[in-house]
Structure 1
Amino acid sequence: MTQQIIITTAAVFGMLSVIFGAFGAHAFKKILSKEQLKSFETGVKYQMYHAITLLILGFNLKNITPAVYWCFTLGILLFSFSIYGLVLSDAKEKKLRFLGPITPIGGLFLVIGWFLLIINLW
């Protein structure tokens, strides 16, 4: 995995989390319940946390392997984006139930990414 790919991925995820956070704070505030908004914000926070982590790791390549990169990237996509889909589809009363089991799989990828990072450090 090249430094340019890792940093670009981090920047895209970071940019999208700011955009999604702004929508959550403004546009979606009118159409989402407090519970839905809280879930949406959880997706945004986890996306940003892991975007920042990828950015830091991208500048310090000795601590990242392709497996760590892919676990964080897939984790963000599956965890945060499934939450976005669940919340927005629920708000339109057409909940995409198939996304429900995807969220914990994304969370598992994030946990595995952190575990692999620990292993890489030792």
Structure 2
Amino acid sequence: MKIFIIIGAISAFLSVGFGAFGAHALEGKISQKYIEIWNTGVLYQMFHSIGIIIVGILLGNVSASSVLSWSGWLMLIGIILFSGSLYVLSLSGIKVLGAITPLGGVSFLIAWVLIVVFAVKAL
């Protein structure tokens, strides 16, 4: 489905921008610990942006699959919760935001399991 390719590409674009921002604008302004947390958010955002693009490509080659659609949406939710919470944590230092991060991680895990379910059923 075209929407997932668009969402994935925009998210990948943002991931590159956030990576550059972290490397250049944040250097010397936040501690190395928070730079590493920021970079983890960037890394996971890029991986799952590519995952969303893959979902879009798979949906373009098969009849509509709700399992695949759920996978794409869960990856987007995971990016928002996981990477987003790490970005805000890095900038604010508010440690309670770390409680949100695992929810994004669970979204990622479920999304990948749904791709396995799709592959077993449809391919």
* Count of residue pairs the alignment pairs up: 115
User: Residue type of the partner of 2:110?
Assistant: I
Aligned counterpart, 2:9:
11
Structure 1 position 10, deviation (Å): 0.2
Structure 1 residue 49 and structure 2 residue 52: aligned? no
> Which of 50, 62, 73 is the matching residue for 1:70?
73
Provide runs of 4+ in structure 1 moved above 3 Å: none
Counterpart of 1:111, as a letter, is L
What does the per-residue CA deviation read over 1:52-86, in whole Å, with 9 as the maximum and x for residues that have no partner? Answer: 11112212213762211111110111000000001
Q: Percent identity?
A: 41
In the TM superposition, residue 120 of structure 1 has moved relative to its aligned partner by 0.7
Find the aligned partners of 2:106 and 2:27 in 1 and give their Cα distance: 29
Is residue 2:78 matched to residue 1:86? no
Instruction: Check conservation: 1:71, 1:113, Cα contact below 8 A.
Output: yes
Q: How far is the alpha carbon of 1:30 from its aligned partner?
A: 1.8
Question: 2:34 corresponds to which letter in structure 1?
Answer: Q
- Aligned alpha-carbon RMSD (Å): 1.4
What's the TM-score, normalizing by structure 2? 0.87
Unmatched runs of 5 consecutive residues or more in structure 1: none
Which 5+ residue runs of structure 2 have no aligned equivalent? none
